[in-house]
Structures are given as structure tokens and as C-alpha cells.
Structure 1
């Protein structure tokens, strides 16, 4: 039975959200033939009384070539069934469907008006992602397929199309998308954008800078070591502020009134309590964290809110030959869609990037034989690039006044609390990285 093959296979996939728990049931909610030997499936997976749905491009072949052996799901009636995203002989169907605005039994493929989709490039699967699967078509497009499906328009599609309509800088141009109705709601299945080439990942560039600093002589300041990143951090701050400005112009904005700001602080405190109950290593830092949250409760000004990135860090930005480009506006994938689309303070994005600088600075210390000696160097690198990013953010038009500084510090510590819990659950050896956030910082 196909459902039994899929249940055994899906539990082993990196993008499957229910790993470690038994699958109680799996059913096929939708099955659309896209071409000979290619079907689009939406499967429902039941675990512990709850349902998640995933999409799969199912390939069928009488003979499976060696290059596709790693994608094998199983055999049925002497037919090989496999994950067809890895089959470049079939994935042109996606390009052709978007180019033609094609519709197949409720599966709708669309291109952005005014753009012509080139159907000739062949596909290649990127291997780094966890929750989604991305296909690169030549050097023209990257198509992200959302494996776990949540009813509704994905925030990334909504944001990048709105920003592209404004000719906003610092984004990868959208070219097309795939959608279908799920629970009676228009739901994004995939997004295709400009593939940035040549470009470098922000996290990789930051780590290269840290590596250069650690290899330099102890008396060499971070600003004089090879590969200094501060100029790039400044440019990234400018780009972030400009994107926040464009988001505020493209979508509605609002304010959080004083009494709601106090409730915001109360919410941060409740999350801290839950985190401490799960990770006792946080307990020595509770008083310092709560002191920062209390400063938010003392605020006497309203807080502007708008659409934001929602999951902002060095892994979400790319450096092209001309400037920084910001990617992945879908927010935190594990959060409900309504929460990811909700208005928030842009300082949440700023806090996320500040935390990412700390992660980059200390990542290479894990398991390092000279970690203790290099710790001051890590702090020096983080402080230098955090300051440069904030300078760039204000230079680009972002606002961080005295009240904003209190809110930013609270957001940053809340993010670090989240990180401690995440690392405790998934990578305990990494816990020293976020725990370092609670040390007093130099004025």
C-alpha cells in the first residue's frame, strides 16, 4: 500500500516535523498527475491525535537509475516510487506550469505578472535546508517547496511580491509560485525567486572573519585583523533599515499602547518562567533578565509596530557583489501563520541579528582547545560588529532612542532565552553560546 510506504519513508526525512514520535495514520488528501510519471501528493500524517500535512512530488519509473537511488521511497506493482524533486528530467514541469499559469485539478501554478519564466534550465536540489526543499534552476531561479503545509498565503510570498511592486532594494525578485486550496483556504505550496549568483552567505562570511581574528596575534585589534567584518555589518544594518522602511510603506502599521506594552513584558516574563522550569541553567540569570523586562514595563511611550522579517539572522542574508540581500521572509516556520503575519516591533529583527553576531563569534569556540584564551577575542568581535550593525541601522533611517534601547535589550534577552531552550533540546554542547548573552556588557 502506498500509504504504508510513505509512512515508513516520511519519518526519515529531515523536513518531517514529527520525528521521534510514532505515526498513527497516514492518508493521501490530494493526488494530482502533473505529467507522465509525476504526481503531486498532499499527505495527512496523524500523531498523538493531531494532524500535519506535507507535500510530495512522487516519481514513478520502471527502472530507477543510480543517480536517483537515494530518493527511493519503495516499489509497488514493479514500479519504483521516489522523491521526484531529485529528478531533473521531470522538474521542468514546474517551470512550464508557472510560465503558462497552468491549473491541474486545483493545483495552480502562477508567474508574477510582467515576468516571463524561462523553461529551459535544469534543476538541482540544494542540500542544506531542514524544513523545506529548494530547487535551483540553472543560474536563474530558486524554487522553495514548503514541505509542511499550513493553510494560508505564506508571509514570504505576500512580502516579496509587495516589496517587488515597490521596486524595493535588498530583496531577491519573485518570479512565480504554486498554490492550492487547503481547508478552503488559498495556500502557498512553493515560491520561485531570483537565484543570487554570485553571492555569499552572511553566516559563512562572518565565520571566515572570526576565523581570521582567532588566527591573528593576540595584540592585533579586531579592526586590524584580516577579514574584518565591521564594514559589512554596517552595510547590513543600512539594508535592514531600508527594508523595514519599505515594509512599513507596503503594509499597514499600528502602535502598541502603554498598557499593552506592559502586557508584552508580562508575556516575556511568563516565557522566561517556562524556560527556567525546563532548563535550570537559566536560573542564575533570572534576576538580570527580569530587570531588563522591568525596564520595558516602565516605558511611557507607545511602541510602533509593522510587518517584519520575523526570523532574522546571518543565515538569512546574502552578500552579492553590490550589496546585501535579505531572504526568507516567512518568519519562524514553527509558529502559527497568523502570528508570523502579525505586526511587531522592527526591533525584534534587530535583536535577532545582534544575537546572530554573538553566535558567529562563539561558534568556533565549541570544542576549541584554546577556547578560554580566545573568549575575549570572541567578545571583541561580537561587540565590534554589533555596534557597526546598529550604526548602519540608524544611518539607514532606523530609530533606536532611549526607550527603544530598553525594548531592544528585552527582545535580545528573550531571544537568548529561546535559544537556550532550543540548544538544551537539540544541541546541549551549544548551550554556552546563548548563556553568554546574560553576562554584563561593557557600557
Structure 2
């Protein structure tokens, strides 16, 4: 891939007119009068260091103020009134560790260019005093011109090249109509944390959701790889992937963007289940269908990527990881220590039963990652895995029971939320929903006579998840700590009542 640096002064205007104006009428930004874009970005690092920690996607809060260093950049669009540039920057932390972030920016003279309403509140990163300036830098995902440039780069297949950075795009569904042109409408999806997603609509094309991965790690992103494989297999249990882009920065190569089918006007399973639980309405039929849908996705993933036998060495390492995690968390959350003996017995039992084959899984499955789509059923989202785990670990085969246990924990959290926020008892509701989900999953997974062994393993994975939840709640929501602790009590009691060998 050619990564020859392209000086900012020699960049040609984009073939796509900016949505905020036309080349004939828009105020002109004289690119040749500006310093080279690399110098502009270097001057912006101090303001980026102040701006980035305040963003929801910044993953290193509490690690001190970062020092920002530009690792690579490429121009995505040079228009008469603005420049859109994709920068990859390193947040260098106080301990010397660094993390790479994607930061797309729109550069323009303050007060000109984008029409009123084209920039969202909080878009400004900073203003620089430069020759040919002043120059304002905005977050491209909060700016209509910036979003248009990101989408065009992704779906056009042209990519982008700059110093130490190159971007290459790939269409997964080449026949899908694409939302390009002046009539394109876009907005940033609110509420996300680890990434930034854009909703893109235009007449004559299906709406898309375009996800920009903020934290970059070397390797393929499971969200793109797994959903792309499921799309290729014809699965309707995931939004269809339309295209993706990979970024190369120095020796690092990973996914930068992914565009997929957007499903508007649907409700996620968490909101649906919580509303039914508060109203005391039945969820068991839907929960059983959800279990069958998860099993279907696991079957398709096993078909696409194969499986690995869970031999003695694999089982020992998995159980050892659970033991280490429990001991580390007990040291910080003493309340978990009350269940140490039961946890040890449970893990001993898990090490003695036969495990199902290891395979690619969702990795962070809960009710918030599932949509209820009319005439289609349950659709699973966000196959990125636990965002705080290294990318290389998230791409390894794992036990499908981890996903099943995650969904059981999520159903349990519905009852906890009802108790804490509505002062009502939804325990029986959650118990029935969990049983129904498990019945649907067991049938879809073909457990047959292995149900007892699978229950041992499910208890182990659910307890492991509850231990992690206890750490999270102790740190962030102490009032919710009772939810995972009650789960550990329930799992411990079941183990004591029905010893397993």
C-alpha cells in the first residue's frame, strides 16, 4: 500500500461538493496560505490533550493528563471552505504507556463554511492562530461536513493516503445503494461510550450506521470480522455489513470504520424487558426465542470459523483465569470473599466435566446488545467483545457458554433494576425469563443428555461474570452492588443443595 506523504499545499479539491455549500458560493479557505497540515496538527496537540479526556470514548480517565503525539494523518477532503483530516494520535500517559486514538477533524476559519446547525454542541476542539488563519478545529463526527467526508471515504473505495497513515476501504455488499450526494443527512448517535457511530440517510438508499473505532489496536476488529462473516453466510441475526475500512499507521494495521444496516424505530431487549418486568407482563416466549437466536448465531459462527476442542490444557487455563480474577477482586471487594469457598467448589466441579468446543463468540452479550425487529425477530449487535480486553484476546476462540451466561446475568439485572428503581419484586419474573432463555438456547445448541454438565459450566461462567460485576459496581455504583452479590448467593446455594462431582 502506497503511503507516500502528500503535502497539504498540493491537495486537489474533493470531487464531492461539501453539503454546506457549493464551490462557487462557499467562503474560500486558502489551503496554500496555511502551514502544512502536519504542522497544524502538531500545534493542536495541547488542545487535544485537554479535549480528549472529556469525551465519552476516552478510555484512560484516571490515568492523569495525557501528552498527545501525532502518529499519522491523511486528508479525507479538501473543499473550498474546509479541510477534513483523519489523525491518529497517541495519548501518552503518566506512566509512559500510550494508547492510539482515531481523531477525525474539520479545519476551517471560524464563523464560515458550515451553515447554521451543521455543527453539534461541543464540537470545537480548539482555535489556532496560524498564518492564513485563525483556524478552528472541530470533531468531524459532530460536523455535517466531517461526517460526509468520512462516509464518502468509506463507501467510495478511494481510501486516503498521508504521512505514516493510509486508509483502504472494502465493500461487503457491492450492490447495496449507498447514501452519497448532496441530499445525504447524517447525525451522531448519542449514548455510545467506546466508539462513535453515525446515522446516515438519503432518499433512495437504506439508512446506514457507520461506526468509527476510537481506540486502535493492531489486528482485525471482531465487530467487523464476525458480523461480516455472518452477513456473508446470509444470517438475518445481525445487521448486514455494507463495507469497512482499514487503517495502517506505521506497523499497526486494524479496522478504522464499518458501515452496516441501520434498523430505525426498534427497541433493544433491555428496554423491552425492563418495561415488561415493571408492568408484570410475561417475557418467557420472547426469552425462549432469544435463547434460540443466540444458539443460531453460535452455530453460524462455528460454521464460518471452525471450532477448537476444549482439551484438558484449555480447561485448566480457563478455570485458572477464573480463580485469578476472583482472588484479585476479593482483595478489592471483601463482600465477594464471603463466597470464596463456594466459588472454589464450583470451579473444581467445572474442571471435571466435559466442555463444549471453543469457538468465536460475541464476547460481551447482554440485553442491550440485542434488538427486537418486527418480522425478523432478535438481532444481535456489537461483536467487538469486552472493549477493555486486548484485541488479540478478543479474537481467540472462547466458550459459547460465556455468551449464554452473560444473557442470564442481564436478565437478572432487570430484576435488580426493578427493585432498586421501582421498589418492586421482579424476582419471579426474572427466574421464569432465565429458565425460558436457557430452554431455547439448550434446544438450539443441541445439549441433549449433556444438560447437567452444561449447567455446571453455566454456573461457573455466571459466577465469574457476577464477580466482575461486583468490582464494577463497587467502583462505580455502590448502590447496585447487591445485584451481583445476590447472584453469587443464589449460585452458591444451588451448588450446596446439589453437590456435583
TM over 0.5: yes
Name the CA distance, whole Å, in 1 between partners of 2:121 and 2:430. Answer: 44
Determine the structure 1 residue equivalent to 2:273.
Answer: 206
Question: Contact 2:151 / 2:210 at 8 angstroms: preserved in 1?
Answer: no
Question: Contact 1:197 / 1:320 at 8 angstroms: preserved in 2?
Answer: no
Determine the structure 2 residue equivalent to 1:38.
Answer: 84
Deviation at 1:79, TM superposition (A): 1.8
Determine the structure 1 residue equivalent to 2:230.
Answer: 163
Report the TM-score, using the length of structure 1 for normalisation: 0.91
Determine the structure 1 residue equivalent to 2:437.
Answer: 389
Alignment RMSD? 1.8
* Matching of residue 291 in structure 1 with residue 354 in structure 2: no
Tell me whether 401-410 or 256-265 shows the greater mean CA deviation. 256-265
Point out the structure with max Rg over C-alpha.
2
Determine the structure 2 residue equivalent to 1:109.
Answer: 169
Gaps of 5+ in 1: 214-225
Name the CA distance, whole Å, in 1 between partners of 2:249 and 2:218. Answer: 6
Determine the structure 2 residue equivalent to 1:220.
Answer: none
Question: Contact 2:212 / 2:257 at 8 angstroms: preserved in 1?
Answer: yes
Gaps of 5+ in 2: 1-42
* Matching of residue 320 in structure 1 with residue 370 in structure 2: no
The match for 2:212 among 145, 149, 160 is 145
Name the CA distance, whole Å, in 1 between partners of 2:313 and 2:46. Answer: 53
The number of residues matched between the two structures is 423
Determine the structure 1 residue equivalent to 2:326.
Answer: 272
* Per-residue CA distance 1:185-204 (angstroms, 9 max, x = gap): 43101111100123211111
The match for 1:29 among 71, 82, 97 is 71
Taking structure 1 as reference, are residues 99 and 267 closer, same or farther at Cα in structure 2, changes over 3 Å only?
closer
Question: Contact 2:72 / 2:249 at 8 angstroms: preserved in 1?
Answer: no
- Correspondence list, 1:84-123, <5 A: 84-105=140-161, 106-116=166-176, 117-120=178-181, 121-123=184-186
Taking structure 1 as reference, are residues 189 and 79 closer, same or farther at Cα in structure 2, changes over 3 Å only?
same
Name the CA distance, whole Å, in 1 between partners of 2:446 and 2:103. Answer: 42
Question: Contact 1:88 / 1:124 at 8 angstroms: preserved in 2?
Answer: yes
Determine the structure 2 residue equivalent to 1:245.
Answer: 299
- Correspondence list, 1:174-185, <5 A: 174-185=241-252
Name the CA distance, whole Å, in 1 between partners of 2:446 and 2:393. Answer: 23
Secondary structure at the aligned position of 2:399 is classed as: coil
Secondary structure at the aligned position of 2:192 is classed as: coil
* Per-residue CA distance 1:271-313 (angstroms, 9 max, x = gap): 11111001111111212222211211222x3541111110000
Secondary structure at the aligned position of 2:382 is classed as: coil
* Per-residue CA distance 1:9-39 (angstroms, 9 max, x = gap): 1111111111123235211111211113211
Taking structure 1 as reference, are residues 183 and 412 closer, same or farther at Cα in structure 2, changes over 3 Å only?
farther
Name the CA distance, whole Å, in 2 between partners of 1:343 and 1:319. Answer: 27
Tell me whether 175-184 or 77-86 shows the greater mean CA deviation. 175-184
Determine the structure 2 residue equivalent to 1:255.
Answer: 309
Deviation at 1:340, TM superposition (A): 0.5
Deviation at 1:212, TM superposition (A): 0.6
Deviation at 1:69, TM superposition (A): 4.2
Question: Contact 2:239 / 2:262 at 8 angstroms: preserved in 1?
Answer: yes
- Correspondence list, 1:16-95, <5 A: 16-36=58-78, 37-47=83-93, 48-64=95-111, 65=116, 67-77=119-129, 78-95=134-151
Deviation at 1:153, TM superposition (A): 1.2
Taking structure 1 as reference, are residues 58 and 415 closer, same or farther at Cα in structure 2, changes over 3 Å only?
same
Question: Contact 1:261 / 1:303 at 8 angstroms: preserved in 2?
Answer: no
Secondary structure at the aligned position of 1:152 is classed as: coil
